[in-house]
Amino acid sequence: MNALKKQRRFAGFSPLFLLALLAAGCNHGPAGYPQMPPPQVDIVTVEPKALPISITLPGRIDPYRVAQVNARVDGIVLHRNFEQGSSVTNGQVLYEIDPAPYQATLDSAKANLAQAQQLMQRYKPLVGINAVSKQTYDNAVSAAAQAKASEEIAQINLGYCTVTAPISGRIGSALVTEGALVSQSAATPLALIQTLDPIYFDFTESSAEALKLRRELDGGQLKKASTGEPKVTLTLPDETAYPHEGKLLFQDITVDPTSGMVTLRAEFPNPEGWLLPGMFAEGRLEQAIAPQTFLVPQPSVVIGPDGSASVMLVVTSEKATNSVVPQPIKIGSAVGTDWIVESGLKAGDRVIVNGLLKAQPGGTVTPIEESTNAPATPSGQ
C-alpha cells in the first residue's frame, strides 16, 4: 500500500522536473545546494589610443574680398549694365555716367597742349641765337608741361565716366538708377561686390584655452595634429555638415581686452555658393593629438552620488580567476558614446561593459570579449 502511494506521488511530476532534480543531485555545493555557474558579462580590454583633440566654436562667414563701387566724377547716370545679384568679372562695365562735359574738357586740354608745344618749339631755336631770352623759353617749356598734365587729368576724368568692377565676384543690388545725379565729393555708392569663392570663416577662442593647449604641446602631453595647416570643418545653421573642408589661415596676434578672446580665420571653398556673408556657423578645429588616451563605453561607468566615477574590472590573481574588483577612475569629456579616462586605468585592464547587475565585487564571472575596433571620434574641449 505504501509503495502504491509513493508511485502515485511521483507520477504528478513532469519528466523535465525529475531530470532537473537528477542533474542537481550530481552537482551539489558545500552545503548540498546546487552550484550555479559564474554569470557571463561582456568586457573590453582597454588600450591607449591616439585621440584627435578638437574644439567646436561658433563664428561668422565673411567674404574673401569686398569692394564698394563709388562714383569718381560728378554727373548723371546714363546706363546700368549689370544684372543685380549676378556674377561680375574684374573690369566689367557696370555704369555709364554722362561723358559730354568731360569730353569737352579733354578737347580743350588737348588744344591748349598743342598751342603750348608749338610755342615751345618756336622758341627753342631762337634761344640759341639770343633772339628770345632764356627765361621766356623756360616759361614756354613750363606752360607745355602744365598743359600736358591738364590733358592727362581730363583724360582720366573722362575714363571715370565708365564705371567698371574693381574685382570679380557677386554684385548686390543697384544703389542708383538711370538719371540719378552722382557726386565724387559725396562719394556716392553705386554697388557692392563680394568675392564668395573662396570665403572666410572667422571665429574666436578663449585666450586661456589657447594658452593651456600651448603648454600641453610644449610639455609633451599632446602632439601637433599635422605638419600642414590645421583642418576645419563646418556645421551649417540647419545642423547639417558642410561638405568641403577648410584650412586655418592664422590666429590673431592680439587678444580682445573686453572678452579675453582671440580671433581665428579659416578659408573654405564655396563652389555651390552655400556660404553667404553674415551667416553664422559652428567650426570644428582639430588642434592636437593625445597619443595615450583611454576610452571606456559610457554604460560601463558608475557615477556615485558624490560625483565619483568607477568601473568594474575582471582580474585574475593567485587567489582567484576572473574575479570582480571595483576600480575608481577620473573621467574627462565625452567622445561619442565613450568617456575619456584621465586616470585610474592601465593598458590591459578588462572593464565590464554589460552585465554589471550580475557582477558582484569579490565574485567571479565568465568574461566575453567585445570588439573595440571602432575608430575614436575627435573630442571637444
* Least reliable range by pLDDT among 12-16, 270-274, 360-364: 12-16
Residue 121 CA to residue 137 CA, distance in Å, equals 9
Query: pLDDT tens digit string along 74-93?
Result: 999 999 999 988 899 999 99
pTM of the model: 0.63
What is the pLDDT, as a whole number, of residue 2?
A: 45
CA nearest to 286, candidates 208, 374, 227: 227
Look up the CATH superfamily of 100-160.
Helix hairpin bin (1.10.287.470)
In the sheet with 162-164, reading across from the earlier edge strand, the strands are 162-164, 93-97, 75-80, 181-182
Residue 345 CA to residue 49 CA, distance in Å, equals 13
Query: pLDDT tens digit string along 218-259?
Result: 554 444 555 556 778 888 988 889 999 888 887 776 777 777
State the pairing for strand pair 75-80/181-182. antiparallel
CA nearest to 82, candidates 189, 10, 154, 190: 190
Can you tell me which residue has the cell 560625483?
A: 307
Residue 322 CA to residue 313 CA, distance in Å, equals 9
State the pairing for strand pair 169-171/87-88. antiparallel
CATH topology of domain 40-51+292-380: 2.40.420
Look up the CATH superfamily of 53-63+201-290.
Efflux pump adaptor protein, beta barrel domain (2.40.30.170)
In one-letter notation, the amino acid at residue 204 is T
Query: pLDDT tens digit string along 280-307?
Result: 998 887 766 666 778 888 888 888 888 8
- Classify domain 72-98+163-187 by CATH number: 2.40.50.100
CA nearest to 183, candidates 69, 104, 98, 72: 72
Find how far residue 174's CA is from the centre of its chain: 33
Q: Is it the case that residue 126 has pLDDT exceeding 50?
A: yes
- Write down the domain spans for the chain: 40-51+292-380, 53-63+201-290, 72-98+163-187, 100-160
The partner residues of 280 in beta bridges, in order of sequence, read: 60
What is the pLDDT, as a whole number, of residue 80?
A: 92
Query: pLDDT tens digit string along 32-62?
Result: 556 678 888 888 888 888 777 777 788 899 9
pLDDT averaged over the chain? 79
